Structure 1
Amino acid sequence: MPEQIHARVEACYQQAEAFFKRAFPRPEVSFKLRGQKAGVAHLHENKLRFNPQLYRENRDDFLKQTVAHEVAHLIAHQLFGPRIQPHGEEWQLIMRGVYELPPNRCHTYEVKRRKTTRYLYRCACPDNDFPFSPQRHALVAQGRRYYCRRCRVTLVFSGEQRQE
């Protein structure tokens, strides 16, 4: 996996160098990105981070569009400085002019949400469950109290959990 992304990053840099007739320093490339973002460019550190899960699930478009998108951020920063808008006209110029790709701000990859446990709390109201996150459940265990806005009774853990 990293070899294909590294090769595409290098190809994007060579395209930009041919287009602008100047050299650009190569970035550090990391594959430690999770969640909804496909890629992130750290402008001041000259670093790119990519989401390996989204790469595996969207290989072709990821290599073509996402890698060029992130490289274009670094190129724009190095050419035009730190005061430009992240997806402004300078970045769009690079996406259209250098890479001949649409300057899409966001990807359309399906992002699977991780399952999480919810702890069900109740009050005096009939048929009223309050699903607490693990973090909020831990705060209750440390002594924090939460109240129902309707009946003003302290919410109590029912002993039930569910996966969402």
Structure 2
Amino acid sequence: MTLPPALIIQVNDRVTDCLSLAGQRLGDDFPPPRVCFNQGGRIAGSAWLERWELRFNPVLLADNVGAFITEIIPHEVAHLVVFARYGKVRPHGREWQTVMRSVFGLEPSTRHRLDTHKVAPTFGYDCGCRLHRLSLRRHNKIQRGQSRYLCMHCGKLLTLAE
């Protein structure tokens, strides 16, 4: 998916602003990372620490600009900042949570709540007590006879819903 140039500039500017804010609040200087728009699947963004690179999902970005600007970009920048200051630590550990709160004023959250139906189709499976949504990978495993899944609530076998 090709993003409009103005949106790419907006994301890059937000990354720069987040790093600048982190530098001011922490008394550090962080170089600009490489910013890519090649993240796939249901993942909104990822930080590649050793490469000093951020990757964003172009489909989710185009549909959720506000969430990216306010939450997802600071989330990923926080990973880079923590890596620069502390090295390899737990991805969403105490250091990352502190940066999210003290630098960006955000409550740390490890998962986004974006609608991913465009990037990750799901399949309905029934157990008798509720409808379950399974990923394409799990659906294919069931279809090939490689896996069976049971409902965690009633314990019955999941079958493809009609």
Structures share a fold, TM > 0.5?
yes
- SS for the counterpart of 2:54 is strand
Tell me the distance in 2 between the aligned counterparts of 1:95 and 1:36. 22
Identity of aligned residues (%): 35
TM-superposed CA distance for 1:73, in Å, is 0.2
After the TM superposition, list the runs of 4 or more consecutive aligned residues in structure 1 that deviate by more than 6 angstroms: none
Distance (Å, rounded) in 2 between the aligned partners of 1:35 and 1:63: 20
Let me know the Cα RMSD of the aligned residues: 2.0
| Residue 9 (structure 2) aligned to one of 3, 10, 13 | 3
Aligned residue in 1 for 2:43: 37
| Structure with bigger gyration radius | 1
- 1:120-160 Cα offsets, whole Å, 9 max, x none, are xxxxxxxxxxxx95xx88xxxxxxxx8xxxxxxxxxxxxxx
Query: C-alpha displacement at 1:115, in angstroms?
Result: 8.2
Question: Counterpart of 2:73 in 1: which secondary structure?
Answer: helix
User: For the residues of structure 1 that align with 2:33 and 2:16, how far apart are their CA atoms?
Assistant: 10
Report 1:82-97 matches (<5 A): 82=88, 84-97=89-102
Looking at structure 2, the residues matched to 33 and 23 of structure 1 have their Cα atoms a distance apart, in angstroms, of 27
Q: Give the Cα–Cα distance (whole angstroms) in 2 for the partners of residues 114 and 85 of structure 1.
A: 30
- Tell me which amino acid in the other structure corresponds to 1:72: A
Aligned-pair CA distance for 1:114: 4.0
Structure-1-length-normalised TM-score: 0.68
Distance 1:85 1:71 in 2: 15
Deviation at 1:27, TM superposition (A): 0.7
Letter aligned with residue 20 of structure 2? Q
SS in 2 for 1:29: strand
Shift of 1:79: 0.3
Aligned to 1:25: 31
Q: Name the amino acid aligned to 1:29.
A: V
Which of 102, 106, 125 lines up with 2:111 in the alignment? 106
- Structure 1, residues 35-71: CA drift from partner, whole Å, max 9, x if none? 1000000011100000011111111111110000000
For 1:51-70, list aligned pairs within 5 A. 51-70=57-76
Alignment TM-score, normalising by the size of structure 2: 0.69
What is the total number of aligned residue pairs between the two structures?
121
